[in-house]
Structure 1
Amino acid sequence: MGDDSRRRTPPASGSTSTRSLVEPIPGEPAATATIDDERALFVADYHAGYEAGLRYDRGVDVPSRAADRRERLLSLLERTRPDRLVVLGDLMHSIGDPGGAERGELEVLFESFPAELSVTVIKGNHDGRIETWLADDDEIDADVTVEPGAGVGLGGVGVCHGHTWPAPAVLERDVVCLGHEHPCVRLEDEVGGSRVERAWLRGRLDPDPFRDRSEYDGVSWLEREGESPPRVVVLPAFNDLVGGTWSNVTGQSFLSPFLPAGLAEGEAYLLDGTRLGPYESV
């Protein structure tokens, strides 16, 4: 861990365009983004109700950290003062309709948001039928929009969850941001001890996995010689209990259908911005 070649660099940086659009918040699993004339806060994989899921699915009794999750997110909103919160999927944990504790956690969370805050939720694979109640809940005053998991373009940023192939509009942006993967790295010290830490992955989209799919006919950078593919940023999970893909461990398979094949020049960064270099060789 004392390698001098590692330097602190914002994970999404790598070009002037990317730096002007997406800025990870040092020490946090979140980023700010410029979307036209709006300032946005990006988080992924909040997994409200995760502890209830552990009890139900695995019989593991873990005290709820709902209040901690809520306070961490509210603190980020206070620090960054965004116009919009963008959740890149898996706002909730249950696959189907949320149970009482989970729905209650989300209602309290949304009731705590500033009145002027708009919220965009990209539907993740854990978000069940979230669109049938979140945007229409009478207890929630926030302006909430639920978008499909394949994602949408928001200004110069394409956002999706990552569990499906992204919508063509996502790929037409300067930067593609996604969650779902919960990227982590396993780090070892000089005496053989190890620890796992959440990480950012960033690089450039590799065209090869996308070229043979008919839905991407017409995507400019896939069809025109000399055009650069968008940058890609894989956000760490906001929920620190959920584990994830150990991206630097041999045999660990990625969850997204277009990763790792779709990630070129992929590098890993710790939450504090420490650049670890190519993610496979950390």
Structure 2
Amino acid sequence: MGVEPVPDEPAAVADCDGERALVVADYHAGIERGLRRQGVELESDADARRERLLALLDRTEPDRLVVLGDLAHAIGDPEGAEHEELTTLLDAVSVPVTLVKGNHDGDLEPFLGEFEDVTVTPSHGTRIGPVGFVHGHTWPSPDVLRADVLCVGHEHPVVRLEDEVGGTRVERAWLRGGLDPDPFEAFHDLELDVRGDLVVFPAFNDRSGGTWVNVEGQEFLSPFLPAGLAGGEAYLLDGTRLGDYRRV
């Protein structure tokens, strides 16, 4: 389908008309600073985050890195440790970067202007060949919706799994299915020629929490989910297919 998850990683490789892209969502650089303001004290994981991403770039050898929004965590001009983390990361990435603007990336353009190989898209997303990219906090544009595959972040999907003795664990997950045109046509007040697939990415940052998609009553964050996902199935990072995410 043109977008294939990297086994055991919250990342995928997308075939964008001959250009190979590594795609990740919700990096949330500097998240520890935000957690500290909520009373949660954690040592910075900045070095490990960066090394995980650089290792993925080495492993997949893409032509481009696409970040599906929320590269940063603080909503505003990055400061202090967050500024340092972003600078060190972007200096180390050896391929062009496309940031699909997310809700945490509101004031990043002046900072990112210092890096000549970084492009920031509008919040309604972008399309590179047959693949569309949007963060997910706002509605994709009609052009992005006409992609063969639409990649979405923002939601941080996780599933709660229970074993035979009643123990539980929470795992990051992919959501994949068809794209239901109805909510998008209603929003844009247009008839859209939409026949593609929709892939909701797990968060790259493992400290960012998530939407428990298989828990009854859990509300989604994105304005077009879950209505825009038809026949959605959940998959673990190791590729395990869990089936209909609502019945896991």
TM-score (norm 2): 0.97
Please tell me whether the aligned partners of residues 152 and 199 of structure 2 are also in contact (alpha carbons under 8 angstroms). Answer: yes
Please tell me whether the aligned partners of residues 127 and 147 of structure 2 are also in contact (alpha carbons under 8 angstroms). Answer: yes
- 1:1-282 matches, cutoff 5 A: 18=1, 21-56=2-37, 58-114=38-94, 117-134=95-112, 136-137=113-114, 140=115, 143-213=117-187, 215=188, 217=190, 219-221=192-194, 229-282=195-248
Q: Moved runs in structure 1, 4+ residues, more than 4 A?
A: none
Q: 3-state DSSP class of the match of 1:185? A: strand
In structure 2, what is the Cα distance between the partners aligned to 1:100 and 1:277?
Answer: 43
Q: 3-state DSSP class of the match of 2:199? A: strand
TM-score (norm 1): 0.86
In structure 1, what is the Cα distance between the partners aligned to 2:98 and 2:5?
Answer: 18
Alpha-carbon distance, 1:218 to partner: 5.2
Unmatched runs of 5 consecutive residues or more in structure 2: none
Cα RMSD (Å) of the superposition? 1.0
Counterpart amino acid of residue 61 in structure 2? R
More strand by share: 2
Alpha-carbon distance, 1:216 to partner: 5.5
Counterpart amino acid of residue 70 in structure 1? R
In structure 1, what is the Cα distance between the partners aligned to 2:191 and 2:127?
Answer: 16
Alpha-carbon distance, 1:63 to partner: 0.3
Counterpart amino acid of residue 40 in structure 2? V
Counterpart amino acid of residue 149 in structure 1? S
Percent of residue pairs bearing the same amino acid type: 65
In structure 1, what is the Cα distance between the partners aligned to 2:26 and 2:93?
Answer: 18
